[in-house]
Structure 1
Amino acid sequence: MSAKPSVPTWQRKSTLVMLAVLAALAVFGTTTQTWIHVSFAQGAVQQAALNVPGSKAAVAVSALALVALAGVLATTIAGRVARIIAGAIVLLSALGIIAVVLGVLADPSAAAMAEVGKATGVVGVASDATTTWFPLAALAASIVLAAAAGLILWVGRRWTVRTKYDAATSSAERPGPGDPIDEVDSWDWLSRGDDPTA
């Protein structure tokens, strides 16, 4: 009997899901940090500087990161069609994050304008806005997230959803002589009162 070919690490469900979850959490984590540092012209306002966190500079990024995280978790329990839909949502969320972050990097002054107005009470005050490295980190994490989502859409079609109901209806569950026994399968057989080692 020929051995079943092993699945490459980059195609494994656990690998891709963990990669996507970590990327989504990384994106969300960056939004709690300072994305934009704003310096004001001398004498323009009372304060000399303002730090704008990512959650204020790019509100959509936090929301999209949470949507992506929920979508990734959904792919772990979804059927084939639902997995494709969830994977597409994750991919679109990642692309949305990339677009928003690029907008912040391209024009940090515009991204900080609302917070500058709230902090100073003056609209259109002269300021100099520069980004920190956190938007770049969010951009890198969102690219990883998009890549993971793309791989989930591509190889996720071959993933199987294992439940006790699937096990009960499958006729090819019981191992043959010399076949390896999977721990999940063992529990399924035992739950049906069947000893897989007998």
Structure 2
Amino acid sequence: MSVTARRVKLAAILGILVGSGLALLSWSQTWYTATLVDGAAAGSAATLEVGGQAASPALSALALAGLALAGALTIAGPLIRIVLGLLAALLGGCVVLAASLAIADPVAAVSSAVAEATGVAGAESTAELVAEVVASPWPAVAVAGGVIVVLAGLAVVVTGRAWPTSRRYGGGVRVAADGATAAPASDRAVDAWDDLSRGDDPTEASAPSVVDIAPDHPNGGAEPDDRPADGDERAEPTR
């Protein structure tokens, strides 16, 4: 296995993890501080902090999908890696798009938060209540995270086939110590059933034939048959 392939695999997976993590972290922070028209907000509050949850609600789902995809890449085969790499690039592009839409129109991004705080519905009505919107660096961080995911996904598509295959422990074939392969239990059951069909008892061990050998015989128990035949015993030699 190539060391370079291992490094590329590690870098690509870490890139997806880091990019998705940045997007998720950015989503949980304050994106904008909106200054409302006097008397628009309840009480004496003149400013309203808007987090990524309101400015870009879809960002969390995209970031979580990226994290899950990075975990799947660690055990995926060569062909599945290509598919996952394309999905990662698509997810990263969606993250960039979601964050860029909020950056392009901050008033629309804070509209839902303003409507919740003031009770005024409608994009145009809430826009009239917003005097100023100040952005934080977190929307740009989300865009950067999406770009990292896109680049990492493209790296997976290009180099995924050359990645080393993950090792899988267990489930292998076990070999007996004497080198003989043990028959499966199902095969032994079929053999026993065949023996019963032929009228043989598979539980009865066949006794080997044993030849009794006299230990004190000089020829090892194999005595020569010097006795005459049955007809010769009654016959006497003629003199």
CA shift at 1:163, angstroms? Answer: 2.7
Conserved in 1, the CA contact under 8 Å of 2:89 and 2:150?
Answer: yes
* Contact 2:40/2:118 (<8 A) preserved: no
| Residue ranges of structure 2 left out of the alignment (5+ in a row) | 177-239
Contact 1:37 1:52 in 2 (8 A): yes
* Aligned-partner residue type, residue 155 of structure 1: T
Counterpart residue number, 2:13:
17
Instruction: Give the total of aligned pairs.
Output: 169
Equivalence map 1:1-198=2 (5 Å):
6-7=3-4, 12-46=8-42, 47-123=45-121, 124-125=125-126, 126-127=129-130, 128-164=132-168
Contact 1:87 1:152 in 2 (8 A): yes
What TM-score results when the alignment is normalised by the length of structure 1? 0.76
Matches of 1:5 and 1:94 in 2, distance apart?
Answer: 28
Moved over 4 A (4+): 165-169
Cα RMSD for the two superposed structures? 2.6
CA distance in 2, matches of 1:7, 1:22: 21
Q: CA deviation at 1:167?
A: 11
Cα deviation for residue 6 of structure 1 reads: 4.4
Structure 2 counterpart SS, 1:63: helix
Taking the aligned partners of 1:28 and 1:35, their CA distance within structure 2 comes to: 13
* Worse-matched range after superposition: 100-109 or 158-167: 158-167
Identity of aligned residues (%): 27
After superposition, what is the alpha-carbon deviation per residue over 1:119-158, rounded to whole angstroms, capped at 9, x for unaligned?
A: 1112324102232110011111211111111101111121
